[in-house]
Structure formats: C-alpha cells, structure tokens
Amino acid sequence: MTTPHTQHPVPRHPHAWIGWVVASQLLVVLLWWRLGWHWGVPALLLSHALFVVPVFLPWSGFYGPALVRLADVGQAVWLTIDDGPSDDTVPILDLLDRHGARATFFLVGARAQARPELVQEILRRGHGIGNHSHTHPQAHFWRLGPRAMAREIDAAQQALAQVAGAAPRWFRSVVGMTNPFVAASLRRHGLVRVAWCARGYDAVDGDPDRVLRRIESGLAPGAIVLLHEGAPHGASVRIVEAVLERLAERGYRSVVPPA
C-alpha cells in the first residue's frame, strides 16, 4: 500500500555547509583577536564540534534533509530493512506476505549484483528497494572524501538500476552517518535520504524482546522503523517476525511511500 502526500526532501543546496564553515571560522578569528585566546580556543573547539557532531546523528539535517517520519498516514508505519540481500531475504519476504505487510529493502549494491534473483523477488512481491551504498564500509563511511563517497553511492545506484530495471529513489547512509559529501551525490541522482525514528539495534542485539522494547519506544503513526537482515547473530528473521506480530497487536499497518 502506498501513502499520499509524502515529502521527498532531495538536497537542494548540497554545498551550503561551506558558507557556514567560512563564517564560523571568521567569527573564531574575530573573537580571538578581540578577546584573546581564553575566548578563542573554546570558540574554535565549539565551531569544530558543530560540524562534526551532525555526522553521527542519523536524523540531523545539517548536511542535507532527511526523511524521519511519514505524514498523514494514520495508524501506519514504514518498515525499512537494511543490509541485504542475504540468506534472510526470502524468509523475511515470506513473513511479510503472511502478515500482509510491505517494506522497503535498503540494499548494498555489490550484494545485489551477487544475488540479483533476490532483488527481483523483493520487487516481484510488491516491496521497494533503496540504495545503501555499494560496499557498506561501516567502519569508515563517516569519513569518506568526496570522490570515495560519490563512488559508493554512484556504483550502488548503477548496480541496483541494472538489477531492478529502474534506479531507486531512496538512500540510507551506512550506520546512519552522513558527512558533508553525501548530499551532492543524492542531488545528482534525485535520491531522498531516509532516516528513522524507531530502532531496536537489531544489527548487534539478537534478543527479540530487547529489540522490541527499544522499537516500541519510538512507535507512533508515521514512524519509520529500522530493521536489518543477515545480522551476524543469526536472529534477524525472528526479530522481524516479532516486530510484525507486535505491530499487528497494536493495530499498525505497514505502508511504502511512493517513489
């Protein structure tokens, strides 16, 4: 099921942050000159923090807009499943079918190229796909430079377009980290960065009960729910099943916004 009136915030000014950097450093110089290092050093540290901290905040719009919640969807949520395709893909698709649910799978480009039949199966069953980088460099995605970042996003977009027959319109940053060089590629491809407002840390925690408690704390109409497949703990399918059951108990349906 699709949802109407969904905002699609494609970055409009991907380099706006440069002006803020210049302005902040000029302000630091002015403070240092007029008031001395006692004011200059704290101002310098604060100015750097203002540009570094947003990288690690998935919902931050400092380096470009992010879709955090759907509007006007009633008692519904958007299920998003990261890191596939994997051996978990088909069992998760079966669970979604059983519950009459729809989801968007944020796929890693290289993994999609290796298992194109799983991408086709996701689409055949009525679900959506999104770009989740080409190689999923989770340890250093946050610090990729402009060329490396462009390669990650561009290569995944090309791979997914070839496998799926159409380029995706959604993007999710690896581990939710978004540095200054993400927005330019998103604008070039017309991609919308999708964050979340309900997560259970299921990529690292295989206990369905703990994961459910964390997700429920963020559940509300229009919530974007973050889930994963193929996690090393091997419990991703059980976690997705538990989430679907809890959503049904609480009267939530799942929707996929139109691309």
Q: How far is it, in rounded angstroms, from Cα 68 to Cα 74? A: 16
Q: What is the mean pLDDT of residues 4-28?
A: 79
Is 257 a residue whose pLDDT tops 70? yes
Domain spans, the chain: 16-56, 76-254
Is the CB of residue 235 less than 8 Å from the CB of residue 82?
Answer: no
Model confidence at 5, in pLDDT bands (50, 70, 90)?
A: very low
Can you name the CATH fold of 76-254? Answer: TIM Barrel (3.20.20)
Q: What is the mean pLDDT of residues 39-65?
A: 92
Task: Determine the Cα angle at 197 with ends 249 and 155, to 5°.
Answer: 115
The string of pLDDT tens digits covering residues 67-117 is 999 999 999 999 999 999 999 999 999 999 999 999 999 999 999 999 999
Model confidence at 254, pLDDT cuts 50, 70, 90, reads very high
For residue 7, name the pLDDT band (cuts at 50, 70, 90).
low
> Helices 16-35 and 37-52: crossing angle, nearest 10°?
170
Q: Residue 1: pLDDT above 90?
A: no
pLDDT for residue 8:
64
